[in-house]
Amino acid sequence: MSENNKRDAEENASQKKKEEELEEGLDETFPASDPTSVNQPTRTGDPKEDRKLKNE
């Protein structure tokens, strides 16, 4: 398998996994007022507060 085909297969598998996770999330939360998010937040809170803590 060439490098391009291998990369395409990996990207397709990654996309399929994301779609399956989204479907599972939708199934588990239905019915709900807010749709599920594919992306997970990396942090919460005010970024300015985060900078203050690093500088202390």
Counting the structural domains of the chain, the total is: 1
Structural domain containing residue 11: 1-40
Cα within 13 Å of Cα(52), Cβ side: 5
Rounded to the nearest integer, the mean pLDDT of the chain is: 78
Q: Is residue 54 part of a domain?
A: no
In the structure, what pLDDT confidence band is assigned to residue 54 with cuts at 50, 70 and 90?
A: low
Q: How far apart are CA 28 and CA 21, in angstroms?
A: 10
pLDDT band at 15 (very low <50, low <70, confident <90, very high): very high
Is residue 53 in a domain? no
Under the banding of pLDDT at 50, 70 and 90, the label for residue 48 is confident
Examine residue 55 and state whether it is found in any structural domain, yes or no. no
Q: What is the pLDDT of residues 19-41, one digit of tens each?
A: 999 898 888 877 666 666 677 66
